[in-house]
Amino acid sequence: MSHRSLAALAVSAVVMLAACSSAASSPTASAAVSAAPSAAGSAAASGGASVCSESANAGAVAVTVVDFKFQPGDITAKTGQVIAFSNTGATPHTATLDGGQCATPTIQPGKSDGLVFTTAGTYKFHCAIHPTQMTGTLTVS
């Protein structure tokens, strides 16, 4: 193989590697998936607008995350109340709406984070790290 052929092959490999690694780590691709609206709750009726946001404030509604369960799994809150998810287990978790409209960041063991809802509705949620094991329902009035 000639020197030119080897150089062209090396350049092609670098270009392919760069394209693969940037697609795999693209925050835009992840954001597009997590921003998909859900038919659950009022988010669909409001045109996919954000129905909640993350809040690090102390919560009016307490949810314990332990042993791969949300306790309670069926939560009731009012708009404007902070729902605080406290991870008392040994594994990191999240609280993520099934439609991806909002989520807590990863909650490490011994830490808490919360969500505050601006739109009434019934919302299904899960742990993004353990989506088949950890699910719940949140009713906001």
Q: What pLDDT, on a 0 to 100 scale, did the predictor assign at position 24?
A: 36
CB 77 within 8 A of CB 104: no
Average pLDDT in the chain: 74
Q: What pLDDT, on a 0 to 100 scale, did the predictor assign at position 48?
A: 55
Q: What pLDDT, on a 0 to 100 scale, did the predictor assign at position 93?
A: 97
- Quick one: pLDDT band at residue 139, thresholds 50, 70, 90? very high
Does 29 or 75 have the greater pLDDT score? 75
Q: What pLDDT, on a 0 to 100 scale, did the predictor assign at position 127?
A: 97
Q: Which fold has domain 35-140?
A: Immunoglobulin-like (2.60.40)
The residue type found at 76 is T
Mean pLDDT of 117-128: 96
Buried b (16+ CB within 10 A) or exposed e, 85-108: bbbebeebbbbbbbbbbbbbeebe
- Quick one: pLDDT band at residue 110, thresholds 50, 70, 90? very high
CB 83 within 8 A of CB 138: yes
- Quick one: pLDDT band at residue 114, thresholds 50, 70, 90? very high
